[in-house]
Chains A and B, each alone.
Chain A
Amino acid sequence: MKLSALHQSYLNRRSSNFRGLSGDSSADGSMKSQASVFWLVLHGLCCLVSLVLGFRFSRLVFFLLFSPSTTTNLYSMPFRQAVEASVFQLSTEAANQVLPVNTTTPRVVVGRHGIRIRPWPHPDPVEVMKAHRIIERVQREQRAQFGVKAPRTLIAVTPTYVRTFQTLHMTGVMHSLMLVPYDLVWIVVEAGGVTNETTSLIAKSGLRNIHVGFNERMPNSWADRHRLEAKMRLHALKIIREEKLDGIVIFVDDSNMHSMELFDEIQNVKWIGALSVGILAHSNSAEESSFSLAWKEADNSVIPVQGPACNSSNRLIGWHTFNSLPFLEKSATHIDDRGIILPRKLEWAGFVLNSRLLWKDFTDKPMWMKDLDLFDGVDDMESPLLLLNDASVVEPLGRCGLQVMIWWLRVEARSDSKFPPGWVIDPPLEITVPSKHTQWPDAPPELPMSDKIVDAQGETLAVKRPGKTRRSRSKHDARNKRKHESRNAEVDISEKQTKQN
């Protein structure tokens, strides 16, 4: 390709008006003999280089050699290759003396210049880090100027308890909260008392947190769970009241998904605000969304959304709630059920409060806010609206509920599912499948007894279920399938062994 480009350029020069070929146009110079010797040597050098590289050097060499113009002895040879190793360049400049009209000779001369390439044209890691710091600082400045002015502290309230999927859910929430660019206090209320597992999980976030226990165990039915969660949240609100925390209270359930714009948007709340929550009501059943079928039966084509409803002048006039009637037959009552897990009419997650509303002796407290003590014995608080005397003071956020920035989801494993505490396998299990490095290589392998396989060093290998391998000799009949599977398991395990070793 390079050759053809050169060829084409050659033709172009012959035919068209070549810009800048200054061979003939300028002042003459005296051709010293030194210069001609130099040119000869240079020419020889160029020939050698062409030999080495395997293609003809720039033909411009010859044009300029035969031109009478060059006064200065310097000449440049630009090199435009991908040959990294030999980025070679006679970095000099050709100058054709310009006819100066002014008496000052210009510093910048017309003519062919060298293309300067430094010896190591690759990024320097120190400089890359400096650049990233600059970018960070500029973005911070941008946020300060165009983002929220005087951001308030966020107080996130999360009810949780230890179960199989706790790590999964809490890690998601933790990462979202760690990305929030504002000050944050995370209040974690744990059902069944404070446990080390949750504590260690929360500690990984590095966020300021208040971890309290709640002396009731999480029940198995979804309805009871919702009730208990509401009680736990009330408990957290009481803590906020006692500690006199100042900021915006946001209800972050551990299995929900939050977008980053949410945290920017809620800074706009004055007293109490409501957001639209997308409901990802999920069915525990293995078959493909019976929920969507039920949803279609109910003649809807969009994911259900709970939240404020406004009229055309953006004032709150009502609420979009979740209508659970079409799904009641298919709904799950217990955790293990294969039905659809339904939310309440209005989830707590869609509301944000100014924490000053909860303070005991806050002089500017609006009249419509009830005192928390009134709810001490109340069994079921469906939503924070019950805290208000007048629900019309709620401010609709997110462009009056048009933006969905939270998604509600409940996914739980079976209640009898076992998982290692803290997801750490300790102590390591016994070897149940022999590795390839036995003294008796021809001994038939034992069938795998348990799911976990450990090699001699005591590290855990990933489990490889026989059914998923594809490297087997795929001609199988049902009789030999089991044998194939075990052999494949062994092959895979041994391959893993060899990889590890």
Chain B
Amino acid sequence: MKMLTNIWRLILFGFLCTVFLSMEPMRTGAIKLHQTQPTERISGSAGDVLDDDPVGRLKVFVYELPSKYNKKILQKDQRCLTHMFAAEIFMHRFLLSSAVRTLNPEEADWFYTPVYTTCDLTPNGLPLPFKSPRMMRSAIQLISSNWPYWNRSEGADHFFLVPHDFGACFHYQEEKAIERGILPLLQRATLFQTFGQRNHVCLKEGSITIPPYAPPQKMQAHLIDEKTPRSIFVYFRGLFYDVGNDPEGGYYARGARAAVWENFKDNPLFDVSTEHPTTYYEDMQRAIFCLCPLGWAPWSPRLVEAVIFGCIPVIIADDIVLPFADAIPWEEIGVFVDEKDVPNLDTILTSIPVEVILRKQRLLANPSMKQAMLFPQPAQPGDAFHQVLNGLARKLPHDRSTVYLKPGQKILNWTAGPIGDLKPW
């Protein structure tokens, strides 16, 4: 009898604790960690989830594809490991040795297909997407014929990494990408991509945006003393006019980068130029604001670099969806400027109250924030790999009625899309 009352007391205590510790959305509290800099906890719309551990919350089955889909492509060009699309390769490697991997597909919640679609590089290092749809299609044909799990749900419990410019639209030109739309076979799958823009064809409901790959060791090697005073107000290095493809401007970056140049090239507060200095990373650590304008696509590794180096990102890309948007409250961390407001950028930035700027810097200093943007080798807790798994875990449990098809039901059209895509790879 006494034991029973004790148990009830324990349960009551536990319940009260969970009630008090549950967080409301978008709340950040200041705590002093044991580092030298006070930081603030970060919680986005999904709650304080950056530090969640996905192990035990989901199981992932990795399909064994023939090496022509992954290893052989990588062997042809090793640059795929260092360019900004390398996340697809590192994700594969991470999953192969991760604790969430299961070898029994019956108990798996998610299925991963390791196909490196962004590894066909030009001599300059840019990936050509022309064969990617065929490659993806061929991979899906393979898994649907060798395993029953694709047909069971038509891909609704499968996920893919498509880090290319416009994600699963597989083209670098925006008009062509929009024309093609997302590959029809991937319409039910969960896509992880770097491209994110609201109300855009190439971002479908349920996709999760991930950061582009930035080499962690290289950035670590360029860290400078934190005591170095930040003396640059606004910093940017990159192209303003893409002289090769759009010499007069207007197409590239929707004219936003050109507007930045024309309005601020002689403003002493703006350190902007097209140079490629060797001290690029060090300079970012000496700057307060770092511009992250769109280019041919709205995303860029600049965001990751700015977060790592504690420089407040100024995002100039209308309707952009930033990485892990449900876990990270980007509105509180970065400054969003509409493209039409670019001529007033200096007014906007100087009129931000100083307390807000200091708070943003505190949020950026949070180590879990920096970890969430990186793909380190070997994987560390809280890094982008884990955020991907957390995102997958948040989508569980699968809604039985929509995910799993009734026997005989077919939704996907295997012959949709341009004719060129139907050729075998």
CB proximity of B198 to chain A, nearest CB, Å:
8
Chain A interface SS verdict (over half): loop
Residue A470 interfacial (CB < 8 Å): no
Contact between chains at B319 and A108 (CB < 8 Å): yes
Against B, the Cβ 8 Å flags (1 = close, 0 = not) of A464-494 are 0000000000000000000000000000000
- Interface residues on chain B, number (Cβ under 8 Å): 63
Q: Name the A residues within 8 Å of B346 (CB-CB).
A: 123-124, 127, 131
> Given that A58-B248, A112-B250, A128-B268 are known contacts, is A118 also in contact with B263, CB under 8 Å in the complex?
yes
Residue B349 interfacial (CB < 8 Å): yes
> Given that A107-B319, A123-B269, A134-B354 are known contacts, is A80 also in contact with B344, CB under 8 Å in the complex?
no
Residue of A with least CB distance to B320: A108
Complex alpha-carbon distance, A87 and B174, angstroms: 30
Contact between chains at B343 and A117 (CB < 8 Å): yes
A128, A134, A146 — most chain B CB neighbours (10 Å): A134
> Given that A102-B201, A134-B350, A146-B226 are known contacts, is A20 also in contact with B254, CB under 8 Å in the complex?
no
- Which one of B18-26, B209-217, B237-245, B301-309 contacts A? B237-245
CB proximity of A147 to chain B, nearest CB, Å:
6
CB proximity of B229 to chain A, nearest CB, Å:
4
CB proximity of A163 to chain B, nearest CB, Å:
38
Contact between chains at B200 and A106 (CB < 8 Å): yes
Residue A12 interfacial (CB < 8 Å): yes
Q: Name the B residues within 8 Å of A123 (CB-CB).
A: 266-269, 346
CB proximity of B183 to chain A, nearest CB, Å:
13
Complex alpha-carbon distance, A100 and B178, angstroms: 9
Residue B2 interfacial (CB < 8 Å): no
Contact between chains at A127 and B199 (CB < 8 Å): no
Q: Which of B233, B244, B247, B264 contacts A131 (CB 8 A)?
A: B233
Contact between chains at B199 and A142 (CB < 8 Å): no
> Given that A18-B245, A76-B250 are known contacts, is A115 also in contact with B350, CB under 8 Å in the complex?
no
Interface residues of B in 343-373 (CB under 8 A from A): 343-344, 346-347, 349-352, 354, 357-358, 361
Q: Name the A residues within 8 Å of B402 (CB-CB).
A: none
Complex alpha-carbon distance, A106 and B319, angstroms: 9
Complex alpha-carbon distance, A60 and B250, angstroms: 11
Q: Name the A residues within 8 Å of B231 (CB-CB).
A: 135, 139
Interface residues of A in 1-31 (CB under 8 A from B): 5-6, 8-9, 12, 18-20, 22, 25-26
CB proximity of A2 to chain B, nearest CB, Å:
10
Q: Which of A108, A114, A145 contacts B255 (CB 8 A)?
A: A114
Contact between chains at A131 and B349 (CB < 8 Å): yes
Interface residues of B in 249-269 (CB under 8 A from A): 249-251, 254-255, 258-259, 262-264, 266-269
Q: Name the A residues within 8 Å of B401 (CB-CB).
A: none
Interface residues of A in 144-159 (CB under 8 A from B): 145-147
Complex alpha-carbon distance, A100 and B227, angstroms: 51
Residue A175 interfacial (CB < 8 Å): no
CB proximity of A9 to chain B, nearest CB, Å:
4
Q: Which of B259, B266, B318 contacts A117 (CB 8 A)?
A: B259
CB proximity of B418 to chain A, nearest CB, Å:
14
Contact between chains at A138 and B288 (CB < 8 Å): yes
CB proximity of A403 to chain B, nearest CB, Å:
15
Residue A380 interfacial (CB < 8 Å): no
B244, B247, B263, B349 — most chain A CB neighbours (10 Å): B247
Complex alpha-carbon distance, A107 and B318, angstroms: 8
Contact between chains at B318 and A108 (CB < 8 Å): yes
Residue B82 interfacial (CB < 8 Å): no
Q: Name the B residues within 8 Å of A141 (CB-CB).
A: 358, 361
Residue B149 interfacial (CB < 8 Å): no
Q: Name the B residues within 8 Å of A107 (CB-CB).
A: 199, 318-319
Residue A37 interfacial (CB < 8 Å): no
Q: Name the A residues within 8 Å of B227 (CB-CB).
A: 142-143, 146-147
Complex alpha-carbon distance, A123 and B269, angstroms: 8
Interface residues of A in 83-134 (CB under 8 A from B): 87, 96, 98-102, 104-108, 110-118, 121-124, 127-128, 130-131, 133-134
Complex alpha-carbon distance, A107 and B266, angstroms: 32
Residue B340 interfacial (CB < 8 Å): yes
Complex alpha-carbon distance, A67 and B197, angstroms: 29
Residue A137 interfacial (CB < 8 Å): yes
Contact between chains at B241 and A80 (CB < 8 Å): yes
Complex alpha-carbon distance, A101 and B187, angstroms: 13
Q: Which of A8, A19, A78, A146 contacts B245 (CB 8 A)?
A: A19
A100, A104, A121 — most chain B CB neighbours (10 Å): A121
Q: Name the A residues within 8 Å of B263 (CB-CB).
A: 116-118, 121
Q: Name the B residues within 8 Å of A112 (CB-CB).
A: 250-251, 255
Complex alpha-carbon distance, A469 and B248, angstroms: 54
Q: Name the A residues within 8 Å of B247 (CB-CB).
A: 5-6, 8-9
Q: Name the B residues within 8 Å of A122 (CB-CB).
A: 266-267
Contact between chains at A25 and B248 (CB < 8 Å): no
Complex alpha-carbon distance, A100 and B343, angstroms: 30
Contact between chains at A113 and B248 (CB < 8 Å): no
Residue B36 interfacial (CB < 8 Å): yes
Q: Name the A residues within 8 Å of B423 (CB-CB).
A: none
Residue of B with least CB distance to A81: B262
Complex alpha-carbon distance, A5 and B358, angstroms: 45
Residue B275 interfacial (CB < 8 Å): no
Contact between chains at A19 and B358 (CB < 8 Å): no
Contact between chains at A80 and B343 (CB < 8 Å): no
Q: Which of B197, B229, B259, B354 contacts A115 (CB 8 A)?
A: B259
> Given that A113-B254, A138-B361, A139-B229 are known contacts, is A78 also in contact with B248, CB under 8 Å in the complex?
yes
In order of increasing CB-CB distance, the 10 nearest A-B pairs are A118-B343, A113-B255, A139-B229, A9-B247, A130-B350, A20-B251, A112-B250, A115-B255, A146-B227, A115-B258
**Other A-B pairs, 6, CB within 8 Å; known A113-B254, A127-B350:** A102-B199, A116-B259, A116-B340, A131-B349, A138-B357, A145-B226
In the complex, 5 of the A-B residue pairs with CB atoms within 8 angstroms, ordered by the A residue number, are A5-B247, A102-B201, A108-B319, A123-B346, A135-B231
**A residues bordering B, Cβ < 8 Å?**
5-6, 8-9, 12, 18-20, 22, 25-26, 58, 60, 76, 78, 80, 87, 96, 98-102, 104-108, 110-118, 121-124, 127-128, 130-131, 133-135, 137-139, 141-143, 145-147
